[in-house]
Every structure is written in C-alpha cells, then in structure tokens.
Amino acid sequence: MTQIDIHKGAEAESPYVPKMARILSAEQMTETERFFRIEMEEAPLAYQPGQFVGVTVFGVGEAPISICSSPTQGDAFELTVRSVGLVTNKLKEFGEGDRLGIRGPFGNTFPYEEMKGKDVLFVAGGLGLAPTRSLIRYVLDNRGDYHKVTILVGARDPSLLLFRDELEAWTGRDDVETLVTVDRPDKAWSGNVGVITRLFAKIQLDAAATYAVIVGPPVMFKFTVLEALAEGVPENRIICSLERHMKCGVGKCGHCQIRGVYVCREGPVFTYEQVKRLREGI
C-alpha cells in the first residue's frame, strides 16, 4: 500500500501549517452528520481514496476527518463530519462560503490498483460508509477496471443512513449489487431488517477472487470479518480503515500509536492480516 512521504524534497511546505479552503456547499444529512463540499483556495487537494485531512476551525481547534469523495470527481473534495467534540460541533454552524484550514492529505490509500480485475465487496456500517464511499465512487467511475462489485450497507435505523440518494442510485444499477439493512426499521421502511452480517446469505462470493473492504464500528467489523473469513476470503484481502485518536497526521504526537505503528502514517488502511498482528503484538 502507498505510503506518503511528507518530508520528500527540500522545498516541501510544512505539513503542520493549514492551507485555506472554502466551503462550496453544506448539508445536514442526519442529526449528527453534516456533509461538506470544499475547495482549496490555492492548488486543488491531491488525494487518493482512503486518505484523511486535518480540518482547522480557527480559534477552536483541529479534527482529523476522512475524505469521502473520489479524486475522479474534480478539484473539490468532500467530508462527512459527525458532531462528537468541540471542533466537529462547531462545524455544524458552518455553511456555504465559510472558510476552513486544511492540512494534508495524510495516510496511505485503499489498494485500488491491486483490486483491478478482481471482485470487490464493500461492507460499510454507520459512519463507515463515508470513507468507504471514496473508494466506491472511484471504482464506479472506473467500472471497467473491476469485476463484480457488491455493496452492503447497514445502519441502526433508517434515519441514520448516509447518502440515501446514492444508495438508491447504486441499487438501480445493473453492474452493481447493493443491499441495505437496518437494525430497527420505522413504519416507512420496506427493506432488509437485521444486522449487516445477515446480508452475506443473500450474495454469492468467489472468495479467491474477492477483495473485501470492511469499514464500520468495532463490533460490526469483528463479526463481518468473521463472515468474510468463513466465506474463504484471505486475510490479506480483507481491507479496513482504522481511526485511532489521530491528531498530527505525521507520526509525531503519538496519539494513534499501536505497538510502535503510527496509524496516521502507516494507515489508516490496513489488511486484516496486519490488524491481527497489531492486536497480537507480533
């Protein structure tokens, strides 16, 4: 997987100094998630699927946020922000025309080059759909480079589903299989009900030819990985994105360190094989 070298070149700008960006549009997607489309004021942000940025609200602080758009979409980029802290709660007040500071992009990327010619299974739970969407849109914009594409999405209830218009569009495509489920349906819900692992019984996998991209809360990740392993997907083809208290983005502050590995630099994208070694301390 690609590792970004922030120190390359004597003329490199400081990775600690944010650059100015302007919000092109903003939308409150759920009670806690707000969607932003952003454009840098100088050169466009050069990023790849799976990376993240540091978002600065001047006078308040900075928060690391995964990019949820694909670089195939043009010069602007997109973020989905959950209101969980000082900075992200302040961002609920921001809208079109407001300015932010952006550092990055940081981290490695999803292995989209290695996936070419293979089947790709996306499994996204809750807010995990945001970083996964970056790769989903990249794959769909380069659809001819990939074989079978399957998208499984889960949420606790319908009100928490992100990108509902896109989910409907993906469901309507002939070249993609998309299944959506909720744990607790409302009266208007007519789709699948139950945890996301139940969707595995509804799909057909060629395990030897499949990359499984799994992003979501820890409990979902645990049981979904078990399903993928039971289907025969190799550990080194189960891909996840970790977010572990990342802060500086350059491996200096140590907030994201796990057994000597800096998630912000060597991740946030890892194979399950790598994650298992981190957990076991190998």
Q: What is the pLDDT of residues 99-152, one digit of tens each?
A: 999 999 999 999 999 999 999 999 999 999 999 999 999 999 999 999 999 999
Nearest-angstrom CA–CA distance, 230 and 227: 5
Domain that holds residue 85: 19-106
- With contact defined as beta carbons under 8 Å apart, do 135 and 72 qualify? no
**pTM of the full predicted structure?**
0.92
End position of a domain, from candidates 106, 138, 160 = 106
Is residue 218 in a domain? yes
Same-domain pairing of 237 and 123: yes
Is residue 112 in a domain? no
Question: SS3 for 56?
Answer: strand
Same-domain pairing of 102 and 144: no
Same-domain pairing of 132 and 98: no
Residue ranges of alpha helices (H) inside the chain are 86-90, 129-141, 164-171, 218-231, 263-266, 272-280
Same-domain pairing of 168 and 235: yes
Residues contacting residue 115 through CB under 8 Å, at least 6 positions apart = 139, 146, 211
Q: For position 10, what pLDDT does the model report?
A: 40
Is residue 4 in a domain? no
Same-domain pairing of 101 and 25: yes
Same-domain pairing of 219 and 147: yes
Same-domain pairing of 74 and 173: no
Q: For position 229, what pLDDT does the model report?
A: 96
Same-domain pairing of 28 and 90: yes
Is residue 278 in a domain? no
| Stronger pLDDT, 253 or 222, i.e. the higher one | 222
End position of a domain, from candidates 46, 76, 106 = 106
Is residue 273 in a domain? no
Read off the pLDDT of each residue in 67-87 and give the average, rounded to a whole number. Answer: 96
Q: For position 261, what pLDDT does the model report?
A: 83
What number of other Cβ atoms are within 10 A of residue 236's Cβ?
13
pLDDT surpasses 90 at 40: yes
User: CATH code at 172?
Assistant: 3.40.50.80
User: CATH code at 71?
Assistant: 2.40.30.10
Same-domain pairing of 123 and 237: yes
CA-based angle 241:219:172, to the nearest 5? 65
End position of a domain, from candidates 82, 106, 130 = 106
Is residue 81 in a domain? yes
At residue 3 the predicted structure's pLDDT band, cuts being 50, 70 and 90, is very low
Same-domain pairing of 35 and 92: yes
Total number of domains constituting the chain = 2
Same-domain pairing of 31 and 102: yes
Same-domain pairing of 136 and 210: yes
Render pLDDT for 83-94 as a digit per residue (tens, 0 to 9): 999 999 999 999
Is residue 6 in a domain? no
Read off the pLDDT of each residue in 163-173 and give the average, rounded to a whole number. Answer: 96
Is residue 10 in a domain? no
pLDDT surpasses 50 at 56: yes
Our measurement of the distance from residue 229's CA atom to the centroid of its chain's CA atoms, rounded to an integer in Å, reads 21
